């Protein structure tokens, strides 16, 4: 089975840095994705890691350690519009390369 864990909720201050962690135990692995989802909307792609290390993309960075089954999403210079749910998803690498999602972390940015 697939087990992907994230904190349920986090709160951070505008302008600050926040790190959202994700741990996973899956039957296979072929990449880890982070998506942002605003309430009632579809997820939008943020980042993709398949090798160990840090991927930086503007204010967002994502880190992966395959040996530890661990990833984090780092958001810098937080803005109010960053308030959303952040979903960690793992591609299992079997069959159709399905994406399995974690429970999502609801981030609230406060002034």
- Interface contacts to other proteins, rule CB under 8 A: 30-31, 33, 40-45, 48, 50, 87, 89, 91, 95-104, 106
Question: CA–CA separation, 31 vs 54, rounded Å?
Answer: 13
Nearer to other proteins, 31 or 83 (CB): 31
Nearest-approach distance from CB 7 to other proteins, in angstroms:
13
Question: What is the closest distance, in whole angstroms, from the C-beta atom of residue 58 to other proteins in the complex?
Answer: 16
CA 30 to chain centre: 15
The least distance separating other proteins from the CB of residue 25, rounded to whole angstroms, comes to 16
């Amino acid at each position: 089975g697939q087990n992907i864990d994230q904190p349920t909720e986090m709160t951070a201050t505008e302008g600050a840095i926040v790190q959202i962690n994700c741990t996973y135990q899956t039957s296979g692995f072929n990449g880890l994705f982070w998506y942002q989802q605003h309430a009632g909307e579809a997820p939008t792609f943020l980042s993709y890691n398949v090798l160990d290390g840090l991927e930086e993309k503007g204010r967002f960075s994502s880190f992966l350690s395959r040996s530890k089954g661990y990833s984090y999403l780092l958001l810098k210079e937080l803005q109010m519009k960053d308030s959303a749910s952040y979903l960690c998803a793992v591609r299992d690498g079997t069959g159709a390369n399905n994406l399995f999602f974690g429970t999502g972390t609801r981030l609230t940015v406060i002034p």
